[in-house]
């Protein structure tokens, strides 16, 4: 029961159900989404569990400031905003909750792809200024076109399935070609994918092997009508290269939900053939509700909460040290009674105390 005093620190905006469940079970938590540096340094000192999404970085400095930290839960996929090596040295376990938002991310990817290929955002902006510019808003259909998918993880596979429903030809670039996947797709080299794709979607994590995957050197293989969508992380596509491609009209359009320095201005935002969104791939009610549930379940397992139903029914005041000591003493006394120790369980003892 001592686990219920351990501080749970929530550093990102989460679905209301997570906060509701934490309150309902009388767990000790602090909800301070997107705190400033001073607040973050203060709150992390006594945190036992940290919950965060993208946008908050847990670096070496913060980890060393956290004296009681045992667990970090990334409420989503990707661990690039957490210093894994330092956490491991401090015996802090790091968890992610992947695959829960993959449908939302894949659907956003196709929304961006269609918007970019048909100039939807540009048309909307112009019309709101009473500027009817139909002749300059030509775009491309998806049917019978080729889409190149970089990364065939959970998101990539869902993108491929959507693409096939649009009657598109699908190519994929993957690191592990021998891995069995739930969809049959032709795999090619990155250069072959660039040469043969009308649409390209990036769905890979950011690491040493994927940084600047699209760069100045290989960008020359892209088609002039290419539409590029980035659902990965900022840094997977070299932003200077992308800016040059769009500015010089060497590709048709691009869209990105991720950027190298998120929360700051970017020269890409000024281009009329570029669509930018603030990392909203997982921001659907459906995905966030599911993530909230799985995060709460994970917290309960980490705190080894074995009797949540009985404790809830009896409304035990978990912070009452005297009551807890009394229960422990009662367990010892009853367990010591000859002939009864094998028959009496913790739930039975709790019922005897409160009836």
Rounded Cα distance between 248 and 322, Å, is 73
Nearest CA-CA partner of 199 in 161, 253, 236: 253
- Answer yes or no: 279 catalytic: yes
Q: What is the pLDDT of residue 299?
A: 96
Q: What is the pLDDT of residue 82?
A: 94
> Which of the following is catalytic: 41, 126, 223, 262?
262
Rounded Cα distance between 19 and 23, Å, is 6
For the segment 317-333, the average pLDDT, to the nearest whole number, is 60
Chain position carrying tokens 């281009």: 271
CATH of 2-100+286-305, one of 3.10.180.10, 3.30.1340.30, 3.40.50.2300, 3.40.50.720: 3.40.50.720
Judged against a pLDDT cut of 90, whether residue 281 lies above it is answered with yes
Helix axes of 285-302 and 16-24: crossing angle, nearest 10 degrees: 30
pLDDT band at 55 (very low <50, low <70, confident <90, very high): confident
> Which of the following is catalytic: 233, 239, 249, 301?
233
Q: What is the pLDDT of residue 321?
A: 55
Judged against a pLDDT cut of 80, whether residue 2 lies above it is answered with no
DSSP 280-322: -TT-SHHHHHHHHHHHHHHHHHHTT---HHHHHHHT--TT-HH
pLDDT band at 183 (very low <50, low <70, confident <90, very high): confident
Structure token pair of residue 295? 């995060």
Judged against a pLDDT cut of 50, whether residue 103 lies above it is answered with yes
- Answer yes or no: 233 catalytic: yes
Q: Are both 2-100+286-305 and 103-281 of the same fold?
A: yes
> Which of the following is catalytic: 15, 53, 118, 279?
279
Q: What is the pLDDT of residue 307?
A: 41
Chain position carrying tokens 């039975």: 348
- Cβ–Cβ under 8 Å, residues 167 and 144: yes
Structure token pair of residue 340? 């009864």
CATH number of 103-281: 3.40.50.720
Q: What is the pLDDT of residue 142?
A: 97
Chain position carrying tokens 């009681």: 68
Is the model's pTM score more than 0.85? Answer: no
Mean pLDDT of the chain: 88
Spell out the domain ranges in the chain.
2-100+286-305, 103-281, 308-355
């Amino acid at each position: 029961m001592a686990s219920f005093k351990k501080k749970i620190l929530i550093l990102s905006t989460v679905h209301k159900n997570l906060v509701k469940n934490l309150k309902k079970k009388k767990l000790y938590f602090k909800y301070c989404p997107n705190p400033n540096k001073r607040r973050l340094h203060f709150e992390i000192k006594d945190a036992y569990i940290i919950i965060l999404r993208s946008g908050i970085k847990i670096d070496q400095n913060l980890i060393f400031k956290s004296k009681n930290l045992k667990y970090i839960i990334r409420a989503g996929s990707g661990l690039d905003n957490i210093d894994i090596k330092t956490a491991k040295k401090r015996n802090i376990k790091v968890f992610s909750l992947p695959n829960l938002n993959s449908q939302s991310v894949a659907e956003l990817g196709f929304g961006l792809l269609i918007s970019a290929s048909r100039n939807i955002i540009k048309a909307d902006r112009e019309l709101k200024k009473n500027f009817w510019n139909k002749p300059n808003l030509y775009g491309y259909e998806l049917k019978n076109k080729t889409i190149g998918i970089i990364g065939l993880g959970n998101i990539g596979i869902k993108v491929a399935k959507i693409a096939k429903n649009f009657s598109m030809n699908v190519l994929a670039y993957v690191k592990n070609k021998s891995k069995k996947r739930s969809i049959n797709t032709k795999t090619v080299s990155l250069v072959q994918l660039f040469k043969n794709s009308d649409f390209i979607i990036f769905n890979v994590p950011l690491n040493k092997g994927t940084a600047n995957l699209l760069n100045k050197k290989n960008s020359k293989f892209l088609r002039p009508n290419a539409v590029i969508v980035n659902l990965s992380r900022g840094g997977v596509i070299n932003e200077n290269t992308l800016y040059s491609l769009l500015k010089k009209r060497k590709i048709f359009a691009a869209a990105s939900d991720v950027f190298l320095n998120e929360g700051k201005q970017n020269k890409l935002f000024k281009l009329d053939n570029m669509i930018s969104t603030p990392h909203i791939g997982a921001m659907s009610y459906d995905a966030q509700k599911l993530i909230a549930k799985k995060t709460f379940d994970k917290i309960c397992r980490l705190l080894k909460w074995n009797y949540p139903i009985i404790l809830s029914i009896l409304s035990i005041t978990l912070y009452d040290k005297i009551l807890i000591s009394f229960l422990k003493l009662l367990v010892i006394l009853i367990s010591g009674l000859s002939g009864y120790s094998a028959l009496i369980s913790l739930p039975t003892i709790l019922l005897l105390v409160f009836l």
